[in-house]
Structure 1
């Protein structure tokens, strides 16, 4: 019996040491690249901002509010009143997870990021650790994330969850420091900012809810953290280890804080140059993240395609936002744009998926004067913060895949275009050129200064973006 107990102890000790080694051994670059590969290839995803603020839809007590999905903060509404009033009304009978994910799939998107918990602290899923959730507080009394996760598996999209980390207006222990001390805290319910202890919130709410999200819905592609605010690097590291201990293949963005993210996020903007490290632009389809009946600023399908080509040409992913209504339906403007995007992607998707930046991201025709984006002029920088350019002008973008270069002719009119980066003086030798979606031969001419290409009629009249496939000689 003595030796048997020693043997059992030895086995337990071995397993403990092995587990400890697995959690402390740094991830190799090769392992990280493998974990990230699906995301790197995907290039295009949908962001869904859906919560109690969607039920409000722009009005509070009969009047338009400030702050959109942040209006609880801007109007200083007690969390119990916010949750009670909106929770009692939230019954999205038009919610159809299958239709949501199918629309994303048909639009060419490869992953879905849904707001599991936004800054208001309300869990949009069945959270056993917090009764402040959609199952316990609304007449809907269902877990929509369960349905969305199942639909993602059905249509082969990655299911991902958004989690507001350093802001939570329901919890008494969440201090903030932007733009000033307490600037994004619930100071009307919990006025003593100095008494708030963030570690209590992390242990009481964040870690339990992360465990729930990582164990209740199958594989999670990304935990998309937001607003780490005053979270310390040590706390960020603990959260990263927690995520990977449950789902070793999961990705987290850099808003976990402390430098522990797998990729960088650019919100409502696009960088100026090619970036070699993984990055993503999250951008609204309209003017706001959450649904608001007064939101009338919708980007055209052509502008959305242009943003996609620009981001991918610079090595990034495009996470395009839709704010579903409180009744569970997508706004008509969003449905129409997703449909147009899908038609374009079915023809040109190969120039997006699995591609990398070429030697240059793009070029502007000689006759065009390029002007940069105009930032939104608003004091509500965390709400109306769209700094992306809305200008439509002729430009050329590039992506690459092995010995292939894809040329995007963005908003170019006329019968021909000249691509300077592929002139003979560039040293690039061309084997073949084709136009995606066309079975006709392309009469191309590689001159010294530029590759001259014809511009045939458009397959998709709503989007003036043609894509040429250039096969280079090795």
Structure 2
């Protein structure tokens, strides 16, 4: 958890310089010449992450679409074609579950495939305004809509993809509905794109059973527009959804790439999002998307680039050009550039048996991420009718109550010279485990704002806490400590400093079910 003196010094200077930005209108390119971005790393390195993203800290995401219908989680549209006798060992478990359920509930994939789930995706009880109000109260300051998942189904009025939510299924512009609800609350709005993987994701749909009564009968991924006479999808070519037949493992062809890129441009130009997310690196290693989005953002914002792009991977040197995203994982240290964790409260798509994180686990994760110069984007799954689970509603209400008291330690803050102290830390990039870390009463995370240092207590100590990083004689950027308070408590705290650190006596009967925050103030 130690950092070199050189790095610590530079981080402290950065913290002091930026600690008040959350309360200002400072933005990249203000007073600067408009940049003409081009599709090269050298050009994109001119990017600066906008302050709105650094201030927001917490966002909510909606993985939602036709895959929500069976309520069996992520990748259902891929797994339903994975019969038990197939030899893909690492995927066979999911294949058995989805395939068996599909056969029992809907029928054989040669007759009822993924395309036939679309009319069942109705969103009839979807109320984006009410949901967005819940999300905002829970502390989210940006929202991300699903644009398209690997299922290749566009959730907007798509010019280049006829298989979209306006033409079929809900027959509603889902992206537009979310956008209007977010903007009404002055939340920043984003859209995620996962469709560059559709090419391989739907390859199993062109297979067939290897044995049994329907052995050799092609699945519906082989159907074409000409086969649709009299069916609900008459007039639409299933190959626009499933991608045209090709050899398994073959790379995407130029027509597929061009169509995907045109769909992204279509959404960016017509919906003007603040943020876009790609599930991986830049699709097909094409940097034109980034240059286009950054240039458009400057057009929309009086010469200022207010855009954020989330992508994964790439070397630390390249991560200045976008906002690096870590799926289901975190950083083990303060990062030089703003970054993001994306993870889920209850799975990626709604599932009856999904693991549900506790509010305390999410708050601990949020505190750890923010202390390291990052943001948390949390997925909340939805049913196909547009509603969310009772567990999710309860979680959001608990988050709202916590944010009412403690939100000042999150929103608009910046890292301190160290992210925290205590024995517990994540393994850098560790996936799927960071919500379940067992923190101790010695674990503390720090954030800063103006003349305040916030010490977020990951677990409640019995009667007092000693913050070892605040030994006597170590002056903070705001000078000497003048006051220590517990957010949400009116009780006056006694505290003292010596060579062991800052020791604070705590209230006797705290509500320790969730994390608590000490506010350490100077003049």
Shorter-chain TM-score bucket reads 0.7 to 0.9
Question: Which deviates the most, 75-84 or 335-344?
Answer: 75-84
Other-structure match for 1:431: 482
User: Aligned equivalents of 2:291 and 2:158: distance in 1?
Assistant: 21
Other-structure match for 2:421: 363
Other-structure match for 1:225: 278
The aligned runs of 1:2-401 (5 Å cut-off) are: 22-24=36-38, 32-33=47-48, 36-58=50-72, 68-76=73-81, 81-138=112-169, 140-164=170-194, 166-169=196-199, 190-193=245-248, 196-203=251-258, 205-217=259-271, 219-228=272-281, 231-232=284-285, 235=286, 237-248=287-298, 249-255=306-312, 259=318, 261-286=321-346, 288-295=347-354, 297-364=355-422, 370=424, 386-390=432-436, 391-394=438-441, 395-401=443-449
TM-score, reference length from structure 1: 0.78
User: Residue 452 and residue 325 in structure 1: after superposition, are their counterparts in 2 closer, same or farther (change >3 A)?
Assistant: same
User: Aligned equivalents of 2:144 and 2:295: distance in 1?
Assistant: 21
Residue 442 (structure 1) shift: 2.2
User: Aligned equivalents of 1:81 and 1:299: distance in 2?
Assistant: 34
User: Residue 387 and residue 459 in structure 1: after superposition, are their counterparts in 2 closer, same or farther (change >3 A)?
Assistant: same
TM-score, reference length from structure 2: 0.71
Question: Which deviates the most, 124-133 or 440-449?
Answer: 440-449
Greater RCO structure (CA 8 Å; 6+ sep): 2
Question: Which deviates the most, 301-310 or 421-430?
Answer: 421-430
8 Å contact from structure 1 (residues 224, 255) kept in 2: no
Deviation per residue, 1:64-121 (Å, 9 max, x gap): xxxx321222333779954432112111211000012111101011000111101111
User: Residue 372 and residue 22 in structure 1: after superposition, are their counterparts in 2 closer, same or farther (change >3 A)?
Assistant: closer
Deviation per residue, 1:243-277 (Å, 9 max, x gap): 23333332112349794751111111112111111
User: Aligned equivalents of 2:501 and 2:482: distance in 1?
Assistant: 15
User: Residue 149 and residue 170 in structure 1: after superposition, are their counterparts in 2 closer, same or farther (change >3 A)?
Assistant: farther
Other-structure match for 1:14: none
User: Residue 427 and residue 201 in structure 1: after superposition, are their counterparts in 2 closer, same or farther (change >3 A)?
Assistant: same
User: Residue 80 and residue 445 in structure 1: after superposition, are their counterparts in 2 closer, same or farther (change >3 A)?
Assistant: farther
Residue 439 (structure 1) shift: 3.3
User: Aligned equivalents of 2:414 and 2:392: distance in 1?
Assistant: 28
Indicate the SS of the match to 1:128. coil
Alignment partner for residue 420 of structure 1, among 468, 474, 491?
468
Residue 165 (structure 1) shift: 5.0
8 Å contact from structure 1 (residues 161, 224) kept in 2: yes
Residue 356 (structure 1) shift: 1.4
8 Å contact from structure 2 (residues 276, 310) kept in 1: yes
